[in-house]
Chain A
Amino acid sequence: MAAAIAVTAGVPAFAAPPALDSVAPDFALKAVDGRNVRLSEYRGEPVVLHFWAGWCGPCRESVAALDALGLSSGTPVLGVNLDGADRSAAVADSLHLKSPTLVDAQQTVARTYDVAKLPLTLLLDAEGHVRASWSGVPADLAELKPQLERLRLD
């Protein structure tokens, strides 16, 4: 279902997100609060990168859980929203998100990351390497939390 919706939204099908151990491509996007955020500026600490959209039910569930995880653990959680400038802010507001919601209205970053299914969650280490990913399903927090802990101790 999510894949079908993603195709209609203009995201290429049969694509694959960055492979494990590869370096996540750098990007800069505007956040809903007006700040510009660049991924590489978070080097030095683990980061959770999450692609989502408001029309995707599992995404909303996932982004809220990751936002709470970010708040409790102090880990930066960057949500890349694919809804569009105006809608991104409204959806982020309705979910009371505290972590940065980045607007990828043209889906340029989504294309760079070959997002074929939503939600897509990537766990990046301090050097920006992909250490775990969940595509088309909400991130499994039971798996993510211990991996994140290990990365924070490294």
Chain B
Amino acid sequence: MKPKLHPMLRVARLFTVFALLAAPLAAMPSEGDTANLQTVDQDVQALKKQLIDLNRDLFKLEEELLYPASTQVAVFLSVDVGTFFALDSVTLKVDDKEVANYLYTDREVQALHRGGVQKLYLGNLKAGSHEIVAFFTGKGPHERDYRRGTTLVVDKTVGAKYVELRISDREASLQPEFVVRQWE
């Protein structure tokens, strides 16, 4: 298996590759050589892909450094159908401290309806018991203003803790349902 380079070394290598690619471009004759241009184009595309991969790796590295698994808590939001509730905003409190307040645009709500999952909050909590409270505001059945809170007490252990807030429709009562789930 090929050993994975440290992201910083990959940055240095990419800069070198870019400099090597840029040099012949500057000296290229105006009429150009099609075969050469195709090769350069392929190299540029490969370089772009490497940059995207590197960006992803750096993002993951940043998350691992800022939010180590031993203290990491992430809260996600998803919406199932949403016939009985039009989401407007969510306020999230952890141990009575507001950590997130998100206002949803129409496009964002549509994305959630299409199955998107939003990372609402990513933070650190020490091991022990913590209270997570989410307040949902929006329009409920019959276009009425609707505000609902839901609470979950999580027992943070050494591993990362993932919490899902899910808005779904309760067909029997024609009301929205706000569910909080923990994922290990």
Task: Give the contacts of A81-133 with B (CB-CB under 8 A).
Answer: none
- Interface of A, secondary structure class, is strand
Which of B9-17, B29-37, B102-110 is the interface stretch?
B102-110
Q: Please, how many angstroms separate the alpha-carbon atoms of A29 and B88 in the complex?
A: 11
Instruction: Assess whether A28 is in contact with B107, with CB atoms less than 8 Å apart.
Output: no
CB–CB B103/A28 < 8 A: yes
Is residue A37 within 8 Å, beta carbon to beta carbon, of the partner chain? yes
Tell me which residues across on chain A come within 8 A of B89, comparing CB atoms. Answer: 36
Report the Cα distance A37→B104, complex, angstroms.
8
Give the docked Cα–Cα distance between A35 and B88 (Å).
9
B89-132 vs A, CB cutoff 8 Å, 1 = contact: the mask equals 10000000000001111111000000000000000000000000
A residues near B103, Cβ cutoff 8 Å? 28-30, 36, 38
Answer whether residue A143 sits at the interface, using C-beta atoms and an 8 A cutoff.
Answer: no
* Interface residues, chain B, with chain A CB atoms under 8 Å away: 88-89, 102-108
Given contacts A36-B88, A36-B89, A41-B105, 8 further A-B contacts (CB under 8 A): A28-B103, A28-B105, A29-B103, A36-B104, A36-B106, A38-B103, A38-B108, A41-B107
Please give the residue numbers on chain A whose beta carbons come within 8 Å of chain B beta carbons, in ascending order.
28-30, 35-38, 41
A37 to B105, CA, bound (A): 6
20 contacts between A and B (CB under 8 A): A28-B102, A28-B103, A28-B104, A28-B105, A29-B103, A30-B103, A35-B105, A35-B106, A36-B88, A36-B89, A36-B103, A36-B104, A36-B105, A36-B106, A37-B105, A38-B103, A38-B105, A38-B108, A41-B105, A41-B107
Nearest residue, chain A, Cβ from B87: A36
Q: Measured between alpha carbons, how far is A29 from B105 in the docked complex, in Å? A: 9
B88 contact set on A, CB distance < 8 A = 36
Distance in Å: Cβ of A100 to nearest Cβ of chain B = 11
CB neighbours (8 Å) of A28 from chain B are 102-105
**A106–B104 alpha-carbon span in the complex (Å):** 18
| Nearest CB on B from A40, distance (A) | 10
Q: Tell me the smallest distance from the CB of B76 to a CB of chain A, in Å.
A: 19
Report B96 CB to chain A, min CB distance, Å. Answer: 20
A36 to B103, CA, bound (A): 7
Q: Which 10 A-B pairs have the closest CB atoms?
A: A28-B103, A36-B103, A36-B105, A38-B105, A36-B104, A41-B105, A41-B107, A37-B105, A28-B105, A30-B103
Q: Can you name the residue of chain A whose Cβ is closest to the Cβ of B104? A: A36
Chain B residues with CB under 8 A of A30 = 103
Residues on A with C-beta less than 8 A from B108 are 38
